[in-house]
Amino acid sequence: FGHVRRRPPDYVGNLALQLSLPGRRSRGRPETRWKDVVIKDMSECQVSEDAMDRAKWKRRIRKADPTTLWDAS
């Protein structure tokens, strides 16, 4: 997510994130969209759109992944 958000606004990945298709969604349970899953995962991890601030993003992911704190020496 962050690697896409840091790209220029006209980058195809950013355009895809903002894509809104015309029309209505079908009846019944709506299909889960990729963006919905990303937003849900970010809220569960208490992460905001810090991806734009690379230093802050690195600090957050290091907290989340204990293997980055492991020293092999």
Let me know if residue 53 belongs to a domain: yes
What contacts 56, CB < 8 A, 6 or more positions away?
Answer: 50
pLDDT at 67: 61
Let me know if residue 1 belongs to a domain: yes
Residues spanned by the domain of 56: 1-14+35-73
Let me know if residue 10 belongs to a domain: yes
Number of domains in the chain: 1
- Tens of pLDDT, residues 10-69: 888 877 777 777 777 778 877 777 778 877 887 787 766 666 677 777 776 666 556 655
pLDDT at 70: 58
pLDDT at 53: 74
Let me know if residue 27 belongs to a domain: no
Let me know if residue 3 belongs to a domain: yes
